Amino acid sequence: MMKKRILRGFRMWQRNVDVFKSHYMASIIGNIGEPILYLFGFGAGLGALVKNAGGVSYMEFIAPGMMAAAAMNAAAFECTFGAYTRMAEQKVYEGILATPLSVEDIVLGEILWGATKGLMSSLIMLVILMLFGLFDKYAEIPLIALNMAALGLAISSLTMCVTAISSSYETFNYYFTMFLTPMMLFTGIYFPTEQLPKWFSSAFLLFPTAHAVNINRYLFHGGSASMPILGAVFMGVFIPFGIWLSTRMVKKRLIPAP
C-alpha cells in the first residue's frame, strides 16, 4: 500500500520534472542570479556596518540562513503558484484523477516536487557560497542537503494547506505576509534571534524554518547541539502531519463530501 502510494506520487513528481525540463534554463538563471544579488547586497552593503556577528563575519553568519531561505522560497513558490495553477486553473488534477492516481498520490507528488525545487535552489546557493569562500565543510554536505530537503517537505506541505483553501492568486498575499515574510525575518536568517524578546523568538519555533536555520548553522559553524536535535525531532513530527493535513484539505476541496 505504502509502496504503491510512493510510486504513484512519484508519477506526479515525474510529470512536474518533465515540464520543468522544458524551461529549466530560465529557472536556473533566476536561481543563480538572486543569491548573488542578496549576498552582495547584504554581505557587502550591510556587512560593512556589522563587524562581528557571533564570532564570524556577517557574510559567514548569513550563509547558512540564506540556504534555508532559498529552499523555503522555492518550495513555497512552487506549491502556491505552481500547484494552484495545476489544480484550479488548468484542472490537471481532475484529469489525473481519472487514472489510478488518487488525491493522496497527487498531493504527495506535489510536496515531493516542491521539496525538490527547494533542494535545488539551496544547493545552487551552496555552490555560490563556496565560490565566495563562505563554505568549505564538504563532509557536511549530505547532512545539509538532508536538512534542506526536510525543510522543503515541511514548507511544501504547509503551503499545500494554504493552496487547498485559496480562491485566487491574490489569496497568497495573506500567506506571504503572515507566514513567509515573518519566517524570513525572525528565524535567525539575517540576525541572531537573541536580539528579539524571548517569547517572540520562541513562538517562531513553531515554524519549520527556524529549526532548519538552527540545524544549518550548526552544520556550518558548530556550537551546541541541543537546538539542532530539537529541530530534527520537530521535522520528524511536522512533515508527516503536514502531508496528512494538506492531503485532507485538498481532498475536501476537490471531492465534495456527500
Partner 1 sequence: MAIVEAKNLQRNFGPFCAVDGIGFAIEEGECFGFLGPNGAGKSTTVHMVQGLLPRSGGSLRVLGMDIGRQADRIKSALGVVSQENNLDRDLTVRQNLLTYARYFEMPHKEAQRRADELLVFLQLDAKQGEKLSSLSGGMQRRLAIARALINGPRLLLLDEPTTGLDPQARHLIWRRLNLLKKQKITTILTTHYMEEAERLCDRVAIMNGGKILMEGRPAQLIADVIGQEVIELHVEEEQRQQALDHVRELGVNFEIHGDTIYIYGDGPGLVPSLLGIGHKSVLHRKATLEDLFLKLAGRTLVE
27, 90, 168, 181: residue in contact with partner 1 (rule CB under 8 A): 90
33, 54, 100, 240: residue in contact with partner 1 (rule CB under 8 A): 100
17: contact with partner 1 by CB under 8 A: no
32, 36, 41, 99: residue in contact with partner 1 (rule CB under 8 A): 99
55, 197, 222, 256: residue in contact with partner 1 (rule CB under 8 A): 256
133, 142, 222, 258: residue in contact with partner 1 (rule CB under 8 A): 258
255: contact with partner 1 by CB under 8 A: yes
66: contact with partner 1 by CB under 8 A: no
102: contact with partner 1 by CB under 8 A: yes
Shortest reach from residue 131's CB to partner 1, in Å: 33
Q: Which span sits near partner 1 by CB under 8 A: 90-98, 118-126, 163-171, 190-198?
A: 90-98
Q: Which phi and psi (to 5°) does residue 257 adopt?
A: -65, 150
101: contact with partner 1 by CB under 8 A: yes
Which residues of this protein are in contact with partner 1, per CB under 8 A? Answer: 7-8, 11, 14-15, 18-19, 22, 90-92, 94-102, 255-258
